[in-house]
Amino acid sequence: MARQRLPVPELFQAALDGDRSSLARLLSLIERGDDEAREIGRLAYPRSGAGYTVGLTGAPGAGKSTLTSSIIGHLRSLELEIAVLAIDPSSPFTGGAILGDRVRMQDHATDPGVFIRSMATRGHLGGLSLATPEAVRALDAIGRHWILVETVGVGQVEVEVAGKADTTVVVVNPGWGDSVQANKAGLMEIADVFVINKADRKGADETRRDLMQMLDLSDLDHDTWRPPIVSTVGTTGEGIVELWDTVLEHRAHVESSGVLAERRTFRLREELREIIAQRLGRRAREICTGDRWDELTEEVVARSTDPWTAADEMLVGLA
């Protein structure tokens, strides 16, 4: 309990010194998103920049968590320290994260070289918590330079993963079927690497041909990097070494070509815009109270003034 009462600078230093409970507490404060979260962001930013994020996404049931667990095992065999953010759907009643991802990765729970955290979406339509970029930055700042971000879905969530990851891995299964047909164009756009997981099942060869045909017919520029297709069996670890080697190849490509710098610049610009939008939204809620707000609302209802003129009056002097 005493640890939770530490001021943010002391909590941050404790996390830097390797205290896992302090790191967990920092991420909880980041999720909360109040003044303490901003303070953590100010402390973490100067220390960040060395980390590399790998996003894993795909339809529910694709076996992403099992695949992630196998990747963790491989990275630990290379003596790399890693962090995993498992972005789960929010409960409409509690806002809490589903902990299934942690259950599947429990073999690594006691490994000091692995830090796993489930984060709720908080109802965010894209499937990723607004706190995710700050959480990634905090993990980077304390020395976890490989960060896996696993999420779920085949819609806008993938677009968000692509925006917040340096390498995006799209996971599909044999016979991925009509349920994904409408989203194939989006998958083409955001995938840096395709994985056919559960490749020991019937239909894996057909799925590979399907993906290759989609890549051939897409109007995306594949002159510099054509997304490779890797077959894996997450439950046995088959194909994991090849998958990770492919991720490393993509990292080398984006670093040498300047694409990584471009992606990160775009990501920071979007994050800054989102921070400003959030703060303006909070300020708007603050000014939409009080006697003058009530008077203007009544005038609009009575049609003695229009909503635009009323809004202009409320915004006079807003800094």
Residue 127 has a pLDDT of: 38
Q: How far apart are the first and last CA of the chain?
A: 40
DSSP-based three-state secondary structure for 244: helix
Q: Cα dihedral angle (272, 32, 130, 127), rounded to 10 degrees? A: 180
pLDDT along the chain (319 residues), means of 10: 71 94 92 87 94 89 89 94 80 46 63 86 50 91 93 62 82 72 63 93 90 82 84 93 97 96 91 85 88 94 95 80
Q: Tell me the residue type at 169.
A: V
What pTM did the predictor assign? Answer: 0.85
- Enumerate helices (H) and strands (E) in the chain, giving the number of each: 13, 7
Q: Tell me the residue type at 157.
A: V
> In degrees, to the nearest 5, what angle opens at C-alpha 56 toward C-alphas 260 and 252?
30
Q: Cα dihedral angle (136, 186, 271, 97), rounded to 10 degrees? A: -50
Residue 159 has a pLDDT of: 61
DSSP label of 62? S
CA-CA distance, 155 to 192, in Å (whole number)?
Answer: 16
CA-CA distance, 190 to 161, in Å (whole number)?
Answer: 8
Residue 1 has a pLDDT of: 40
